[in-house]
Amino acid sequence: MPLDAAAQNQLTIILILAILLFIAASALPQKIATIALLVLIPYQTIETRFGSSSVVLAFVVFIAFLLKGDRVRLPMLPIVLLLLFWYSISMALMHPSTYMQHAIYMFAFLSAFIVFWLCYDLTTRLPKPSNIV
């Protein structure tokens, strides 16, 4: 399914925004990059069939922190993996025409967990959680 001009423009804008945020997340301290992501999350300016701009930005910031070599402590990782495993098993009972829709739900669940991880990791690094703002 080819994209029309408006969808191509939206994808170009989110790509430029993602590259800028990736550079910022790589160069700046985690506090600034995470706060920028949290400020951008409510403003879902670009919707694509793959997810909103917030989903893409959450993955970009997460990947930048991983490549930067920051410590990675994922809280509740076994529970999240169990939920993903359970959901993938339940997909076997669904009609095959709905697989793409449920894959998007799984992608959104993962991005929500990544945003949770970024917030959790930032608050554990700071001496007082009130220092975030």
**What's the whole-model pTM score?**
0.64
Q: CA-CA distance, 52 to 54, in Å (whole number)?
A: 5
Name residues whose C-beta falls within 8 Å of residue 45's C-beta, 6 or more positions apart in sequence: 53
pLDDT of residue 61: 75
77-133 tens-digit pLDDT: 788 889 888 888 888 888 888 888 887 788 778 878 887 887 777 777 777 766 666
pLDDT score recorded for residue 34: 75
Question: CA 99, CA 102: separation in Å to the nearest integer?
Answer: 5
| Range in 45-54, 63-72, 75-84 with the lowest mean pLDDT | 45-54
Per DSSP, the chain holds a count of helices (H) and strands (E) of: 5, 2
pLDDT tier at 14 (50, 70, 90 boundaries)?
A: confident
Higher pLDDT, 37 or 91: 91
Identify the bridge partners of residue 52 per DSSP, sorted by sequence position.
47
Task: Please report the sign of the dihedral spanned by the C-alpha atoms of residue 6, residue 38, residue 63, residue 117.
Answer: negative
